[in-house]
Amino acid sequence: MTHYIPEGLPDRIRHFIDGEFVDSVGGETFDVLDPVSNETYVQAAAGQQADIDLAVAAAKRAFDEGPWPRMLPRQRSRVLHRIADLVEARDARLAELETFDTGLPITQALGQAQRAAENFRFFADLIVAQRDDTYKVPGRQVNYVNRKPIGVAGLITPWNTPFMLESWKLAPALATGNTVVLKPAEFTPLSASLWAEIFREAGVPDGVFNLVNGLGEEAGDALVKHPDVPLISFTGESRTGQIIFGNAAPFLKGLSMELGGKSPAVVFADADLDSALDATVFGVFSLNGERCTAGSRVLVERSIYDDFVARYAERAKNIVVGDPHDPKTEVGALVHPEHYDKVMSYVEIGKTEGRLVAGGGRPDGLETGNYVAPTVFADVSPDARIFQEEIFGPVVAITPFDTDEEALELANNTRYGLAAYIWTNNLKRAHNFAQSVEAGMVWLNSNNVRDLRTPFGGVKASGLGHEGGYRSIDFYTDQQAVHITLNEAHSPRFGAK
């Protein structure tokens, strides 16, 4: 297979601080690999405390002294719409670079680029339409909410759909008038640097957007511990979220954390099985299985179990694995050799915990690169590691159940609680099950299609807080209550003679 390398790759990936592309103060760098060859294709500046300090100082200056927080909502909205226009106009280039850097199939990367534009457009509209509460006690008092941006937001993003997930945090943070320091994942820094040019062209003032690349233990850690960063929004692993929680505690920072998942897809015998099959196959193998909301545990009612497993395995064997840049590819290369090794170790564990019915190793004909054949384990017991632990790759566990009660018990039997997918045509069962399942988001007879107005977040080890729609506005603003008395202020007269 010929290895596709996009034209016009940068000579080095730099930070972007106060309107300038800069190297690390101390000159530190790290290697960036592409996941098809696993060869280093570029060096990226590795941010340290000194670089974070410069970025935060620029962001704080832009917040304290610059025009951005003081603009009318309509003015900021216009800038955000221009950002959306620019992202849409460059979607093919964005997808090409994202695919090269992440190994995501090109058709899926293109969809993510378009979703990034939509995120900006959505918040551009929301800040203009937004209203806040006012309360009146006739003849006595008026109370209103004065909503204010908070300051410098620290945004720490993952490597699975980097550009889209960056937009998800950048759009509401900027829409509400904050300034930002973005720390993208070290595995996939390529597309993040495109924000700098897009924002500059759209008219975002210098210092409002700052970007520091680097390792989580260095740049991410310094950002979380910086006293001038009151907000941290993080998407990533639950364990990293716990570390961030601890490091942010002394500063009482605002935290929004979307963490791991081990989401159940529950298929009842009365479901539309063709639709359920389409959705549950797509739900774990799209984005190479590297998605937090993947339905990686499929729970199937016993009476249809054998037939469902056979059909599922057949579909998995027919998935097109190959060059991420080929539009026919359905599963590309995993992001990095470290992650490939982790996923393959779970495949080996699974062979001792379940019945392997598809995949189980490297696909034929793909001797190099981080390729894993879509892997299906059936008859997986709930105490199995592949049932309990997030694998974050193209690996699924299928488990039978006999009753609604058992299905619910199995669905809730993990430390995670991000998403759940329920397939049944029984209306009463659908709603009762949805309301009892421990998940921040539930899809009934549908796949992971999200209305941007709805809250996004998880329970248990899957996260803290919610973003999306007004919940994002709430996170990135302070809500100050202002009380006005309309007549005499009747206070107890302490100390009066």
The whole-angstrom separation of Cα 225 and Cα 154 is 10
Q: Is 258 a catalytic residue?
A: yes
C-alpha dist (Å) from residue 69 to 82, 180, 228, 469, 478: 18, 12, 16, 20, 13
Angle, vertex CA 69, rays to CA 64 and CA 72, nearest 5: 145
Nearest to 255, CA basis, from 269, 276, 234, 235: 234
Task: Give the strands of the sheet with 15-17, arranged side by side.
Answer: 20-22, 15-17, 209-211, 179-183, 152-156, 231-235, 254-258, 463-464
Q: What angle do CA 24, 28, 32 make, to 5 degrees?
A: 105
How far apart, in whole angstroms, are the C-alpha atoms of residue 384 and residue 410?
12
Residues with Cβ < 8 Å from 85, sequence gap 6 or more?
A: 117
Q: Distance between CA atoms of 483 and 195, rounded to whole angstroms?
A: 41
Q: List beta partners, residue 351.
A: none
The single residue listed with the structure tokens 């009151």 is 230
Cα 172 to Cα 180: distance, rounded to the nearest angstrom: 11
- DSSP symbol at 453: T
Q: Which of 157, 151, 195 is nearest to 177 (CA)?
A: 151
User: Among residues 28, 96, 166, 258, which one is catalytic?
Assistant: 258
CA distance 113 to 104: 12
Main-chain dihedrals φ then ψ at residue 157, nearest 5 degrees: -120, 155
Six-digit token string for 255: 């935290």
Measured distance CA(240)–CA(309) in Å, rounded: 35
Instruction: Name all contacts of 131-134 with Cβ < 8 Å and 24+ positions apart.
Output: 132/479
Indicate which residue of 96, 290, 292, 330 is catalytic: 292
Sequence-distant (6+) residues with CB within 8 A of 301 are 267, 268, 269, 400, 401, 402, 407
Q: Which two tokens stand for residue 241?
A: 């979220």
Token readout for 156 is: 């720490």
Reduced to 3 states (helix: H, G, I; strand: E, B; else coil), residue 346 is helix
Q: How far apart are the C-alpha atoms of 154 and 142, rounded to whole Å?
A: 35
Distance CA 94, CA 114 (A): 10
Report the alpha-carbon distance of residue 410 to residue 69 in Å, rounded: 48
Take residue 440 and report the two structure tokens written for it. Answer: 């921040």
Catalytic residues: 258, 292
